[in-house]
A and B are shown apart, each in its own frame.
Chain A
Amino acid sequence: MSTEDTMHNNEHDHEHHGNFWTTYVFSTDHKIIAKQFLISGIIWALLGGALSVIFRLQLGFPDMDLTWLKPILGEWIDMQGKLDPEFYLALVTMHGTIMVFFVLTAGLSGTFSNFLIPLQIGARDMASGFMNMLSYWFFFVSGVIMFISLFLETGPASGGWVIYPPLSALPQAMSGSGLGMTMWLLAMALFIVSTLLGGINYITTIINLRTHGMTFTKLPLTIWAFFLTAIIGLLSFPVLLSAALLLIFDRSFGTSFYLSEIYIGGEALPNIGGSPILFQHLFWFLGHPEVYIVLLPSLGITSEIIATNSRKPIFGYRAMIGSMMGIAILSFVVWAHHMFVTGMNPFLGSIFTLLTLIIAIPSAVKVFNYLTTLWKGNLVFTPAMLFSIGLVSYFISGGLTGLFMGNSAIDIQMHDTYFIVAHFHLVMGSAAFFGMLAGVYHWFPKMFGRMMDAKLGYVHFWLTFIGVYLIFFPMHYIGMAGFPRRYYSWTNFDTFNGFTDLNMFVSVAAIVTFIAQFIFLFNFFYSMFKGRRATANPWKSTTLEWTTPINPGHGNWPGDIPKVYRWPYDLSKPVNEEYSKKLSEKEIQEMPDFIPQSVPFSKTPETNFQNENELIALEKEENKAIVVNEEK
C-alpha cells in the first residue's frame, strides 16, 4: 500500500456526519443521489403509465362514460362523460415526454450511472459531488415545471413528444401550444442542463477515478454502457438545446427559423422564409441517439446480470464493447430515417436506409452474445435474471420490426401508424424498462441492504412480460392496416371498425399490466424497510460493489479501495490441468464458482491459465521495488 492511499483513507475513515437535509436531501453522495433519481423515476413512471391508461380507455372503449374521472381531470371530461379531444393529444404528448426523458433517461441513467460507476470502478464518489447534486436538482425543478404544466387551463404541450413546428410554434394552432408549450420548453432546457451536468461527471469519473489495475478492458460492461451513453448524451443533447432555442425564438420573439408563409383563419402570418424541416433535422439528431441513451444502460445492466446468473463469463466481452461503440457511432448518422416522408431526396433516403440497416449488425452481435452466454449456463432464475431475459426477448421481437421501418420504401406505408408505436414500445420502451427493473431487483440489496421478495418478483415479471406482448403485438396488425397514431378515435372510419375488439383487448391488457406494477411498488417499498436482510454478496458476483460493506457509508469502502487484478467475468472458471490431477473431485466441486475482481492471480493457482501464472512471476519482480519503497 502506498502512502498516498493511506492518507486518502484517513480522510474517509471518520463517519460522515450531517443533518437530515444534507444527508438525504441536498446530498452529494452518489448513492443517495442515485436513490433520489430512482424514486423520482418511479413516481414519473407511475404518472406516465396512468396517462397511457386514460388514453387507452378512450381508444378501447370509445363509448365509455368517463364521468368517474372528473375528480382528477375536471373540465377535460365534458358533460357527456367524453374525454376532450385536445386533452387526448396532451395525454399522448406528456406520456411520451415523461417516459422517454424523465423515466428512461433520468430515471435509468441517473439511477444506475450514479449508483454503479463509483462502486464498480472503485472510487470514493463521483468526480464532483456538487455537480452531481446540481444535476439532480435541475432535473427536479424541470420535473416540477412539467408537472405544473399538466394543470394549466389551456392544457400541457400537445403537439406530440417530438413537438414539430409549426403546430408547436403557434399558440393559435392548438390550445396546448400556448403556455403549456412554453413550460415544456423551459422544463426541457433545464432537463438538458441536468443531463449534461450528469454526463460530464460520469465520463470524468470513469476516465479519471478508476482504482489501481482497473484498465478499460477490465471494466464491467455496465460501466462501458454508461460511459458510451454519457458520451452520446454529451454530443446530442446540446443539439436539442439548439433546436429548442430556435423554437423559443420563433415562439416568443417572432423570428422565422421554422415558420414560413402560414395562413391561420384566412389571415397571413408575418413569418416568411422559415423551414419546418430544419427543426426535424435538429430534433432527430438528438432524437435518434436518445433511443440509445435510453437503451444502452439497460443492455449493460443485462450483460452483467445474465453473466452473473448464468454462472458463465459473458460471451464475447470485447465484441460487446465493440458493438456498443458501433451502435454509439452509428446512432449519429441515421437520424433522417425518421424523416423519410418529409419529401426527402430518395437517393438520400437510400443512404439513410443503408446506414440504418447497418445498426442491425452490432445489435445482432449483442443478441447472439446474450444467447450464447445463456447457452448451457447454470441458470439461476432470480427476478433480475428473468427481466434481463425479457429484455433480450423484446430486443429481438422489437428489433426485427426495425428492419421494416428502416427501409424507406416500407416506411412510407408504415410511417406514423400503430406499427411504429408497436416497434419502439417493444425495442426501446419495454426493453429499456425491463433493464431498469432488472437493475432494481439486482442491486436492491446494495442500495438498501435488504432483499426484495423473489416470489412477488416472479408474479410481477410474468404479468408484465406477457402483458407487454399482449399490448404491443396486436398493434402491429392495427398499424399494418394503416391506422395512424395519435388519432383520438377510429369509430368514424369504416375501414377500422374491424379492429374495435382488438383495441378493446389491447386496452384491457394495458390496464392489467399497469395494475401489475403495483406489485412491484409494494415489493419495493415494503422490502426497503421490512425485507430480508441481504448478505454481502447475494448473487455471488465478481464486481467491486459487492466488496463494500452491506450498507456502504460515505466513501464506499471503510479501508483501502480494493485493487483489481482480473476481468469481471471469472465465473465457473475451470480448474487447470496441473491442479485437476492434484485435487480430489470433492475439493474441486467445493471451490467457489466465481472469483471477484479484487482477488490476485497468486491466490488462485488452481484456476490460473498458463499466461496468468506468468503474470504473477512478472509482477513479483515489480513488487520487490514496491517493498523497498515501503522500507524507506
Chain B
Amino acid sequence: MDTHIHIEEPKKPFSVHPKKFAMWLFITSVVMIFASITSAYIVRQAEGNWLIFELPNVLWVSSGIMIVSSIFMHWAYLSAKKDNINNVKVAISGATILGVAFLIGQLMAWADLVNSNVFLVGNPSGSFVYLLTGLHGIHLFGGIVFLLIVLVSTFKFKVHSKNMAQIEMCTTYWHFLGGLWLYLFIFLLLYR
C-alpha cells in the first residue's frame, strides 16, 4: 500500500460535453458551406454580367419572424433552467410555429421573385438568391424537426434543469440558424 501512496495522480484533462461539442463542429461545417457559397457569389459578381434586381420585401418580414422565434427559443431555454415546464411547452411551440411561418415567408419571397421575372434558371445573380435561401431553408427544416423532438421530450418530462443538454443544443442550433439568416440577408442586401 505504501508504494501506492507515492504514485502521483494525474488530473483529468480539459473536456466538455461531447455531444454539445460535436454540435459546434457541425455548425462549423455548415458555416464553411455558406462561407464558400457567399464567397463564390462575390467572385462571380466581380466578373460582371450581373443582373441587378430588388429583393422581395417579404424577406424583411421573415427576418423579423426569425428574430422573434429566436427569442421564443431562448425563453424556452431559460424556463427549462427554472423548471417551468409549462412555459417551455408554450415557448417551444411558439418557436416552431414561427419557424414554419418563416419558411412560408421564404416561399412567398420565391413567388415574388418569379413574379418579377427572376428565375432559378437564368442569370447567376438570381440563382444564387434561390440557392442561398433554399439551402438555409433545408437547414431550418432540420431545425424544426429538432424542435419537435425537444417538444416531445418536454411532454415526456425529459427536459428540466437537471437534463438540459438536448434543449441547450437545440437552442444553440436555432440561434445559429437565425444568425445565419441575418448574415445571408444583410449579405444579399449589401452585395446587389
Q: CB within 8 Å of B: which residues of A? A: 127-128, 131, 196, 199-201, 203-205, 207-210, 212-216, 234-239, 241-243, 245-246, 249, 253-257, 270, 272-275, 278, 281-282, 285, 563-565, 600-603, 615-616, 618-620, 622-623, 626-627
> Which residues on the A side are within 8 Å of B135 (C-beta)?
245
Inter-chain contact B8/A273, CB cutoff 8 Å: no
Contact of A255 among B8, B28, B30, B127 (CB under 8 A): B127
Inter-chain contact A238/B13, CB cutoff 8 Å: no
Cα distance, A620 to B9, chains bound together (Å): 8
Query: Mask for B39-63, Cβ within 8 A of A = 1, else 0?
Result: 0100110010111000000000000
Interface core residue of A208, A215, A235, A236 (most chain B CB under 10 Å): A208
B184 CB, min distance to chain A CBs, angstroms? 14
> Which residues on the A side are within 8 Å of B148 (C-beta)?
none
Query: Mask for B131-156, Cβ within 8 A of A = 1, else 0?
Result: 10001000000000000000000000
A-B complex: 10 closest residue pairs judged by Cβ atoms:
A213-B10, A619-B8, A238-B32, A127-B18, A208-B15, A239-B36, A242-B36, A254-B121, A238-B33, A255-B127
> Which residues on the A side are within 8 Å of B18 (C-beta)?
127-128, 204-205, 208-209
Inter-chain contact B7/A273, CB cutoff 8 Å: no
Cα distance, A201 to B22, chains bound together (Å): 7
Kindly state whether residue B82 has any CB partner on chain A within 8 Å.
no
> Which residues on the B side are within 8 Å of A619 (C-beta)?
8-9
Q: Would you mind naming 25 contact pairs between A and B with Cβ atoms under 8 Å apart?
A: A128-B19, A200-B22, A200-B26, A203-B21, A203-B25, A204-B25, A208-B15, A236-B32, A238-B30, A238-B36, A239-B32, A242-B37, A245-B135, A246-B40, A246-B131, A249-B120, A253-B120, A257-B127, A273-B49, A275-B44, A285-B36, A565-B10, A616-B8, A623-B8, A627-B5
Inter-chain contact B8/A615, CB cutoff 8 Å: yes
B120 CB, min distance to chain A CBs, angstroms? 6
Known: A242-B37, A246-B131, A620-B6. A127 touches B15 (CB 8 A): no
Cα distance, A235 to B49, chains bound together (Å): 31
Cα distance, A243 to B124, chains bound together (Å): 14
> Which residues on the A side are within 8 Å of B22 (C-beta)?
127-128, 131, 200-201, 204
Kindly state whether residue B163 has any CB partner on chain A within 8 Å.
no
Inter-chain contact A214/B8, CB cutoff 8 Å: no
Kindly state whether residue B12 has any CB partner on chain A within 8 Å.
yes
Inter-chain contact A272/B32, CB cutoff 8 Å: no
Kindly state whether residue B11 has any CB partner on chain A within 8 Å.
yes
B18 CB, min distance to chain A CBs, angstroms? 4
> Which residues on the A side are within 8 Å of B14 (C-beta)?
207
Cα distance, A285 to B44, chains bound together (Å): 16
Q: Nearest CB to that of B32 among chain A residues?
A: A238
Cα distance, A270 to B11, chains bound together (Å): 66
A515 CB, min distance to chain B CBs, angstroms? 41
Known contacts A127-B19, A209-B15, A282-B36, then 15 further A-B pairs from the complex at CB < 8 Å, ordered by chain A residue: A128-B22, A196-B26, A200-B29, A203-B21, A208-B16, A212-B9, A237-B29, A238-B30, A239-B36, A249-B120, A249-B127, A256-B122, A563-B10, A600-B7, A602-B6
Q: Nearest CB to that of A256 among chain B residues?
A: B124
Inter-chain contact A272/B49, CB cutoff 8 Å: yes
Inter-chain contact A255/B6, CB cutoff 8 Å: no
Cα distance, A472 to B47, chains bound together (Å): 40
Kindly state whether residue B84 has any CB partner on chain A within 8 Å.
no
Inter-chain contact B127/A256, CB cutoff 8 Å: yes
Inter-chain contact B21/A565, CB cutoff 8 Å: no
> Which residues on the B side are within 8 Å of A234 (C-beta)?
25, 28-29, 32
Cα distance, A210 to B14, chains bound together (Å): 8
Known: A208-B15, A209-B15, A249-B127. A600 touches B8 (CB 8 A): yes
Tell me the B87-138 residues at the A interface (CB within 8 Å): 120-124, 127-128, 131, 135
A568 CB, min distance to chain B CBs, angstroms? 14
Inter-chain contact B8/A602, CB cutoff 8 Å: yes
> Which residues on the B side are within 8 Å of A214 (C-beta)?
10, 13
Inter-chain contact B11/A212, CB cutoff 8 Å: yes
> Which residues on the A side are within 8 Å of B26 (C-beta)?
196, 200
Known: A208-B18, A273-B49, A623-B5. A239 touches B43 (CB 8 A): no
Cα distance, A601 to B66, chains bound together (Å): 57
A348 CB, min distance to chain B CBs, angstroms? 12
> Which residues on the A side are within 8 Å of B51 (C-beta)?
273
> Which residues on the B side are within 8 Å of A600 (C-beta)?
7-8
> Which residues on the B side are within 8 Å of A285 (C-beta)?
36
Interface core residue of B8, B21, B37 (most chain A CB under 10 Å): B8
Inter-chain contact A622/B9, CB cutoff 8 Å: yes
Q: Nearest CB to that of B126 among chain A residues?
A: A255
Cα distance, A275 to B28, chains bound together (Å): 27
Inter-chain contact B15/A210, CB cutoff 8 Å: yes
Cα distance, A349 to B123, chains bound together (Å): 29
Cα distance, A207 to B13, chains bound together (Å): 9
Cα distance, A245 to B30, chains bound together (Å): 14
Cα distance, A204 to B16, chains bound together (Å): 9
Q: Nearest CB to that of A199 among chain B residues?
A: B25
Cα distance, A577 to B44, chains bound together (Å): 68
B131 CB, min distance to chain A CBs, angstroms? 7
Query: Mask for B174-186, Cβ within 8 A of A = 1, else 0?
Result: 0000000000000
Known: A563-B10, A600-B8. A255 touches B25 (CB 8 A): no
Q: Nearest CB to that of B18 among chain A residues?
A: A127
Cα distance, A204 to B15, chains bound together (Å): 9
Inter-chain contact A616/B122, CB cutoff 8 Å: no
Cα distance, A257 to B128, chains bound together (Å): 8
Inter-chain contact A282/B40, CB cutoff 8 Å: yes
Known: A128-B19, A235-B32. A622 touches B8 (CB 8 A): yes
A83 CB, min distance to chain B CBs, angstroms? 38
Cα distance, A285 to B33, chains bound together (Å): 12
A532 CB, min distance to chain B CBs, angstroms? 35
Inter-chain contact B11/A213, CB cutoff 8 Å: yes
Cα distance, A600 to B4, chains bound together (Å): 11
B118 CB, min distance to chain A CBs, angstroms? 12
Cα distance, A200 to B24, chains bound together (Å): 9
B181 CB, min distance to chain A CBs, angstroms? 18
Interface core residue of B16, B49, B50 (most chain A CB under 10 Å): B49
B101 CB, min distance to chain A CBs, angstroms? 27
Inter-chain contact A565/B44, CB cutoff 8 Å: no
A209 CB, min distance to chain B CBs, angstroms? 7
Q: Nearest CB to that of B125 among chain A residues?
A: A273
A190 CB, min distance to chain B CBs, angstroms? 15
Cα distance, A245 to B138, chains bound together (Å): 13
> Which residues on the B side are within 8 Å of A236 (C-beta)?
32
Interface core residue of B6, B15, B16, B19 (most chain A CB under 10 Å): B6
Inter-chain contact B124/A274, CB cutoff 8 Å: yes
Q: Nearest CB to that of B123 among chain A residues?
A: A273
A228 CB, min distance to chain B CBs, angstroms? 14
